[in-house]
Structure 1
Amino acid sequence: MILTRYLEFDTRIEDVIDITEKVAAEIQESGLQAGIAVVFVPGATGAVTTIEHEPGLVDDIRAALERIAPEQDEYAHDQKWGDGNGHSHIRASLIGPSLTVPFQCAQPILGTWQQIVFLELDNRPRKRRIILQILGE
């Protein structure tokens, strides 16, 4: 069986949001016991991954992304569109728009310090709608 659910929330600029509990709740409510959950971010300036969601690491990720794709660099995207978020697109493309999480006994299988996070990489607050497809039995 394949079920499609949606997670909706508002973000702040360069936000890192723990969505583990929301994903777990949707898996639990699906009635499926074992399978995979695919988390997908529609759009080009958001991403999803797993981290230990704690303030120090969140700051480290922001700093690393700034070193990799500095906000103040010149981007052809910004020159064409004038929206100043070329760095956001680069960062999102490096992290990626999807994540597959296995589940057993209707619970995501994650490490002790591992949380599912959405990264808002755009330079403005957004209203996001994440797609969650739950496949299993």
Structure 2
Amino acid sequence: MIVTEHVDFQTKGNAEMTDLTAKVARALERSGLEAGVAVVFASGATGAVTTIEYEPGLMADMKDALERIAPQKIEYAHNQRWGDGNGHSHIRASMIGPSLAVPFSERKLMLGTWQQIVFLDLDNRPRYRRVVVQIMGE
């Protein structure tokens, strides 16, 4: 069986991190499925989904790391073509990736103790975001 839900929320941009763990867990509960895989997918080209220990130190470290990997202040061909200044956002999102698969058993996500599911808004301005949660199992 496959159950699909959406998580909608507003973000501020600039590598803001949103903890989705509880929302994905509630979607899993509503699904009625006992075991399988939950896929979390970020719709859009400047958002990403991953896991991290959701705490202020690592949230700051992630922002710093992203700035070292794909700096905002350098020129991107995307910016020259579109003039929106978010070339770095697209690069960062493609490097982290738009989706995550989390196994579940006994209606519980099989995450580690310090592991949360997070959405990263990598754009340079606020956005309305939609994340797809597709739960497959029995």
- Give the TM interval when normalised to the shorter protein: over 0.9
Kindly provide the amino acid, as one letter, of the partner of residue 38 in structure 2.
A
* Uncovered stretches (5+) of structure 2, i.e. residues with no partner: none
Q: CA-to-partner distance for each residue in 1:5-56, whole Å, 9 max, x for gaps?
A: 1000001122100000000000011000000000011111000000000000
3-state SS, counterpart of residue 49 of structure 2: strand
Paired residue total: 137
> 1:118 deviation in Å?
0.2
Extract structure 1 runs of 4+ deviating beyond 4 A: none
Kindly provide the amino acid, as one letter, of the partner of residue 64 in structure 2.
A
Kindly provide the amino acid, as one letter, of the partner of residue 91 in structure 1.
R
* Uncovered stretches (5+) of structure 1, i.e. residues with no partner: none
Kindly provide the amino acid, as one letter, of the partner of residue 133 in structure 2.
L
Q: Residue in 2 aligned with 1:33?
A: 34
Q: Residue in 2 aligned with 1:8?
A: 8
Kindly provide the amino acid, as one letter, of the partner of residue 70 in structure 1.
P
3-state SS, counterpart of residue 38 of structure 1: strand
In structure 2, how many angstroms separate the alpha carbons of the residues matched to 1:15 and 1:130? 15
3-state SS, counterpart of residue 91 of structure 2: helix
Q: Residue in 2 aligned with 1:65?
A: 66
**TM-score, length-scaled by structure 1:** 0.99
Percent identity (aligned): 65
Kindly provide the amino acid, as one letter, of the partner of residue 24 in structure 1.
A
3-state SS, counterpart of residue 110 of structure 1: coil
Kindly provide the amino acid, as one letter, of the partner of residue 4 in structure 1.
T
> 1:72 deviation in Å?
0.3
**TM-score, length-scaled by structure 2:** 0.98
3-state SS, counterpart of residue 37 of structure 1: strand
In structure 2, how many angstroms separate the alpha carbons of the residues matched to 1:104 and 1:24? 12
Kindly provide the amino acid, as one letter, of the partner of residue 78 in structure 2.
H
In structure 2, how many angstroms separate the alpha carbons of the residues matched to 1:132 and 1:23? 7
